[in-house]
Amino acid sequence: MREYVILSIETHLFFARIMKEHSLFLLASLPEKETDLKKRADCFRKDFEEGLKKTVRLADGMVGNAILDSGEIVTEFTQRAECQTSRLTGIPVDTEITEAEKCLHSGCPSGVSREMVYQVRMLNREMLECLNGLIAYKEEILQKVLCCKLYTTNYPLLIEHILREARLYRQFIMQLERNGCLAMTDLRKTETFWNQIMMEHAEFIRGLLDPTECELMESANGFAVDYCDLLEAMKEQDSNNACYAKSVQLTEEFQKFKSAGTEGITDCKIRSVILPLLADHVLREANHYLRLLEQGNSGSNRCGRCR
């Protein structure tokens, strides 16, 4: 059960934060008249925040160096972005969780107690229940937007985008509960999923920048085009090697662009309608993807190694 515990905690450390932020972004995007939808979004925000808090309590000394060093859990900008976003939207954010995450220590325990297994199993079940609700909620929001029954400041594509991420998270939890580990996934499938996510990030950034930010808009558009071309090339090529190298190179460049952008937004030096926490959010996802690329290339087995 050691791998089950470690992989469950690592999965929640990344994805529970992503889901609580999705809930916050949905809440912030809805007009005041949508009282029921806003209340439900806030409930999901609180549920995932509580789930993340439980995860952090279990995580110290239980997760690999690669996870903590990747920048996918927190970045140098996260806490500041949270404070700024809370001030701008009026939505509370528990920054003590971020502080606790910054203090986590890595570890590779040889075994785990029955109590730890029980706590992780209960956490997985709680998060799966929350996810099922959030996925249904996102589907409802998307349907209403597409039928012109709801206004939101989020693009319909962004709602589809966060739906895909939630479904991936649910898939991982279900695998852990069914098999006790995460099945080895073809690196090409991982690349296809995350290259699409990165392409859409570039498209969103392009559309959320102020029209006067011409240079940044041009750069964001360039990344969108490059990821689109890469996805097309991946459909046509039998060999992974050239596309893998391009995925790494392009994502490293995009990560630097996102990092500079997050710094510029939190320093109030970039004109945009991008929430500071959204900028940090997409940066963390790029960091996560880069770790997956490195891990996939090294051939690490998700079911048996502390990384």
87 found inside a domain: no
Q: What is the pLDDT along the chain (307 residues), one digit of tens a residue?
A: 889 999 999 999 999 999 999 999 999 999 999 999 999 999 999 999 999 999 999 999 999 999 999 999 999 999 999 999 999 999 999 999 999 999 999 987 888 999 999 999 999 999 999 999 999 999 999 999 999 999 999 999 999 999 999 999 999 999 999 988 887 667 889 999 999 999 999 999 999 999 999 999 999 999 999 999 999 999 887 656 789 999 999 999 999 999 999 999 999 999 999 999 999 999 999 999 999 999 877 655 444 443 3
Exposure class string for 40-72: b at 16+ Cβ within 10 A, else e: bbbbbbebbbbbbebbbebbeebbbebbbebbb
Q: What pLDDT, on a 0 to 100 scale, did the predictor assign at position 275?
A: 98
Q: Which amino acid is at 259?
A: S
Pair (115, 238) in one structural domain: no
Residue where one domain finishes, among candidates 141, 168, 183: 183
Pair (133, 272) in one structural domain: no
DSSP conformation class of 132: H
Pair (207, 292) in one structural domain: yes
82 found inside a domain: no
- Compute the CA torsion angle 169, 102, 251, 168 (nearest 10 deg): 0
Distances (CA, A) of 307 to 101, 109, 298, 300: 18, 12, 11, 8
Report the alpha-carbon distance of residue 112 to residue 62 in Å, rounded: 9
Pair (51, 154) in one structural domain: yes
160 found inside a domain: yes
230 found inside a domain: yes
267 found inside a domain: yes
74 found inside a domain: no
Helices (H), 107-213: 114-146, 156-179, 187-208
Closest CA to 49 of 101, 104, 93, 91: 93
Q: What pLDDT, on a 0 to 100 scale, did the predictor assign at position 218?
A: 98
Q: Which residue is it, tokens 């927190």?
A: 74
Pair (32, 56) in one structural domain: yes
Pair (138, 10) in one structural domain: yes
DSSP tally for the chain: helices H, then strands E: 11, 0
Pair (211, 116) in one structural domain: no
- Give the count of domains, the chain: 2
Residue where one domain finishes, among candidates 124, 153, 183: 183
Report the alpha-carbon distance of residue 29 to residue 306 in Å, rounded: 39
Residues 6+ apart with CB under 8 A from 46: none
Residue where one domain finishes, among candidates 183, 202, 233: 183
Closest CA to 198 of 170, 228, 168: 228
SS3 of 200, please?
helix
Pair (159, 216) in one structural domain: no
Distance of CA 130 to the CA centre of its chain: 16
Pair (223, 288) in one structural domain: yes
pTM over 0.85: yes
Pair (178, 196) in one structural domain: no
79 found inside a domain: no
CATH (domain of 143): 1.20.1260.120
73 found inside a domain: no
Pair (197, 232) in one structural domain: yes
Domain of 227, in residue numbers: 184-301
Q: What pLDDT, on a 0 to 100 scale, did the predictor assign at position 110?
A: 80
Total count of residues recorded for the chain: 307
Pair (45, 174) in one structural domain: yes
CB 247 within 8 A of CB 225: no
Residues 6+ apart with CB under 8 A from 60: 103, 104, 105, 107
